[in-house]
A = this chain, B = another copy of it.
Amino acid sequence: MQKKWGISMQDIHPVRFVLVETTHPGNIGSAARAMKTMGFHDLVLVNPKGDPASEEAVALASSASDVLKAATICSSIEEAIADCSWVIATSMRSRYLDWPVRTPREMAKQLVSEEGPIAIVFGRERNGLTNDELQLAHLHVSIPSAYETLSLNLAQAVQVMAYECRSQLLDAPTNQVKNGPYATSAELEGLYEHWEAMLQQVGFLKGNAEQLTMVRFKRLFQRARLERIELNMLRGVCKDVLKAAP
């Protein structure tokens, strides 16, 4: 792989761009174009409200209509990111949840040493992502605006993220320390169910704080970036506890 800007730098890294319930077909087309100019091709649309096959989407995709046509349609974010070991959610409300928040550049620097499928999730044009959706991510990225009342257009946010990923990937030294392998999102979901069942079983989850408690555990595990072996150890704990405390 040639490590420099230029026309031969196609598909430099398997970064998936996930657009959630996008309303305007033009934004879907523009996002495809933004991705492809930066060498990314894996586009997933979760419940698109706008038609990705519409004339407007195709026109704005320009020569990236192949990316548009090859887009995968999913009915949930969970499905879109199931095989991903690193999930980034873009958010304007960066301080609402107490989740790790990075700038695009910080995120892209970390991206360089990641393996396996990575997803960057973009929310709805008007409302972004819900708190439940944000909690599916390992990391939140915020492209802060100079004005509270004005955020980047969806396709522009995709362009900035894709541009940063490309810049850092092309700048990065080829030799990076490998961690992991990390647990995938689907494996984490499995752990959370198991964990919650265990907490229920031993009477830890009581009263109103039940949901908040689980959010805190999720935050901890997401932040810790569980490796698969650690996840399996935790599931072993759940299993043993459930066995011992019937």
> B-contacting residues of A (Cβ < 8 Å)?
5-7, 9-10, 12, 30, 33-34, 36-39, 60, 62-64, 103, 105, 143-153, 155-156, 159-160, 163, 166-167
Q: Give 19 CB contacts A-B under 8 Å.
A: A5-B103, A5-B144, A7-B145, A7-B147, A7-B148, A9-B146, A10-B147, A12-B146, A33-B153, A34-B152, A36-B147, A37-B152, A62-B153, A63-B149, A143-B163, A146-B166, A155-B156, A156-B159, A160-B160
Residues in chain B near residue A36, CB distance under 8 A: 146-147, 150
Residues in chain B near residue A63, CB distance under 8 A: 147, 149-150
State whether A37 touches B151 (Cβ < 8 A): yes
Which residue in chain B gives the minimum CB-CB distance to A142? Answer: B5
Known interface pairs A160-B163, A163-B160; A150-B9 also in contact (CB < 8 Å): no
